[in-house]
């Protein structure tokens, strides 16, 4: 249970990495060098994609745990929170978030 929640925490870290890359690119607008701006954006994107891999593992572990045991009320609440966060990770995360919310609706 704890491992699943911890692994899905990488999802929040990936959003932070992505938006920090955009922020640093925004700060470089005054310098006018498009290569540095593109470097910051690509660093944010690549880092967030790398960090999403453990979050996906956590999501699949979460699905397996919920199928195995429905008695975990607080775990289901955390799962719903992360499912809503998954909706923001467009496009693939939106699919996972909707599927997870449908599964949790039945519990």
| Residue 23, pLDDT score | 94
Q: Give the count of domains, the chain.
A: 1
| Residue 107, pLDDT score | 64
Q: What is the pTM of this model?
A: 0.70
* Cβ-contact 82, 8 below 8 angstroms: yes
pLDDT band (50, 70, 90) for residue 101 = confident
pLDDT digits (tens, 9 = 90+) for 30-49: 888 889 999 999 998 898 88
pLDDT digits (tens, 9 = 90+) for 3-15: 877 888 888 888 8
Give the DSSP per-residue string, 6-59.
HHHHHHHHHHHHHHHHHHHHHHGGGTT-HHHHHHHHHHHHHHHHHHHHHHHHHH
Tell me the residue range of the domain where 39 lies. Answer: 2-105
**How far is 53 from 105, CA to CA, in rounded Å?**
25
């Amino acid at each position: 249970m704890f491992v699943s929640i911890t692994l899905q925490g990488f999802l929040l870290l990936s959003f932070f990495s992505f938006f920090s890359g955009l922020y640093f690119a925004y700060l470089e607008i005054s310098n006018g060098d498009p290569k540095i701006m593109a470097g910051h954006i690509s660093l944010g994107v690549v880092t967030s994609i790398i960090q999403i891999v453990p979050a996906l593992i956590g999501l699949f572990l979460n699905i397996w745990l919920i199928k195995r045991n429905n008695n975990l009320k607080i775990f289901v609440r955390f799962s719903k929170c992360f499912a809503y966060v998954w909706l923001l990770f467009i496009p693939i995360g939106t699919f996972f978030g909707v599927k997870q919310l449908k599964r949790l609706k039945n519990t």
